[in-house]
Structure 1
Amino acid sequence: MPQMPALTAVLFGLRGCLLQTSGETPLPMPGALDALNGLRRQHVPCAWLEERDATQAQRLALPDWLPGHASSASPWPAPDACWQALMGLGVERLEGCVLVSGEPRLLQAGLNAGLWTVGLAACTPQCGLPLNEWRAMTRQEQDCVRGKATLTLFELGVHSVIDHFEALDNCLDDIAQRRHKGEKP
């Protein structure tokens, strides 16, 4: 049996995933640029998804080489945006395609599209508090909020849940191993 590639493509949510949503100037989420650059070095096509058109400032906060796709006709959780973004990347098959987001409706769109899904617990609406509010919480309160977000994502049916981008490499390696063993999303 020939060795299948580890990943075919990776799609990311834009706001609240690749980009922080608090503040006027969009900034990349901690670890997001490292994750994107690591995937680029591995020649894994990537793109971002947004339900509405992204602003110029948001586009400038990300690398020039990273294409994006704003959903048009069908709102999430319809799978169309995922498929259109993959077609825009020139991806010929769904096998090995992954969606990373904290937005439950986008993750549901990825599941509906037949993609592997990775939920970012710290980027979910439950955890997407302004930084000053998050920092004002005790460690125990943060863990409780993050734990509830993780359970919500798993209840949705996502394949993996991580807290932050720093854990993405290991998560994608795990998905590659699961694929190698014949598991499908």
Structure 2
Amino acid sequence: MNQINAVILDWAGTTVDFGSFAPTSIFVEAFHQAFGIPITLEEARVPMGLGKWQHIDALGKLPSVAARWQNALGRPMSHADVDAIYAAFMPLQIRKVVDFATPIAGVTDTIRQLREQGIRIGSCSGYPRAVMEALVPAAAQQGYAPDHWVATDDLAAGGRPGPWMALENVIALGVDAVSHCIKVDDAVPGIAEGLNAGMWTLGLALSGNAFGATWQEYQNMSAAEVAQRRQQASETLYRAGAHYVVDTLAELPGVIAQINRRLARGERP
């Protein structure tokens, strides 16, 4: 049928880990552990959505981090340095990621609704397989288990912003057309991934990296601060090319209904 029959979901900040804190906090710790270089959570968020080795490499190219690195070590960050930070990052992330496996409010109900409509649930992540092998069962114990998942190091072609992880889900799930898929993500590289795969794209402005707050921080925020952060996050995701931007995954069924009407009129992403 000419309607959405699969969604491809990101993990941190989209389905689990409100605010996407598991990876960001570990980047800060890994930089300090490997080389004693301080970075901020805000800096750690900038390349979010990339594979983690690529994320570390991109962090080293941020002007503020590059200047700090040069001042401390007298040279730019090298690939060997990225390898060393990644080696510190991996065991920390594997150990900590299970603490951030709780599904975001509304996720399990939304997944149930989608499955009742016959919609398949794919997923992919900037996490490597070793981290996903810890995260996936931990999330399943708390009620979230997609039909398929792909890690950023699973495919020889690479990860985001390329389309390959999303397209691997299409193959595994037996989806008949990429235009019948929605890629859902809270970060710019994940939106680019969906666009490059020819899919509809949905950005999440409140639960993820762009908003950048814990659930408790969000609950305690003033309405004015929530509105300001939401607007900034929405603008970032729309600039990346998102077809739609909503607050959390709980609003996905309504977006699917809108896209189904557009598909019925012959529209494509």
TM-score using structure 1 length: 0.89
In structure 2, the residue matched to 1:10 is: 7
Matching residue of 1:26: 101
The answer to whether the 8 A contact 1:19-1:58 is kept is no
Flag structure 1 segments of 5+ consecutive residues without an equivalent.
none
Distance in 2 between the 1:50 and 1:57 partners? 11
Correspondence for 1:76 among 144, 151, 160: 160
Counterpart position of 2:59: none
Q: Aligned letter for 2:120?
A: P
2:215 to 122, 131, 139: 131
**TM-aligned CA deviation for residue 56 of structure 1:** 2.6
Answer with 1 or 2: which has the greater Rg: 2
More deviation, 60-69/170-179: 60-69
Determine the C-alpha separation between the residues in 2 that align with 1:61 and 1:98.
22
- Are 2:121 and 1:46 equivalent residues in the alignment? yes
Q: Deviations over 1:32-73 (max 9, x none)?
A: 111111111111111111122214344331345632111223
- Structure that is richer in strand per residue: 1
1:129 deviation in Å?
1.6
Deviation readout 1:3-30 (Å, 9 max, x if unpaired): x332121110011111114472410011
| 1:120 to 1:75, Cα distance in 2 relative to 1, 3 A | same
8 Å contact kept, 2:185–2:203: yes
Q: 1:101 aligns with which of 169, 185, 204?
A: 185
> How far 1:141 sits from its partner (Å)?
0.7
Question: In percent, how many aligned pairs have the same letter?
Answer: 26
User: CA–CA distance in 1 between the matches of 2:101 and 2:212?
Assistant: 14
1:48 and 1:68 in contact (8 A); partners too: yes
C-alpha contact (below 8 Å) 2:9/2:123 kept by paired residues: yes
Gaps of 5+ in 2: 23-98
Return 173-182 or 119-128, whichever deviates more: 119-128
SS in 2 for 1:123: coil
The answer (yes or no) to whether the contact 2:122–2:146 under 8 Å persists in 1 is no
Aligned length: 182
8 Å Cα contact 1:104-1:124 kept in structure 2: no
Number of the residue aligned with 2:176:
92
> RMSD in angstroms over aligned alpha carbons?
1.8
Q: Output the CA distance in 2 between the equivalents of 1:85 and 1:34.
A: 22
Judged with a 3 Å threshold, the aligned counterparts in structure 2 of structure 1 residues 65 and 167 are, in CA distance, closer, same or farther, namely: closer
Q: Normalization by structure 2: what TM-score?
A: 0.63
Partners of 1:83 and 1:178 in 2: how far apart? Answer: 22
Q: What is the Cα deviation at residue 158 of structure 1?
A: 0.8
CA displacement, residues 137-163 of structure 1 (integer Å, 9 cap, x when unaligned) = 321011100111111111111111111
Structure 2 distance, partners of 1:144, 1:65, is: 32
Counterpart residue type for residue 167 of structure 1: E
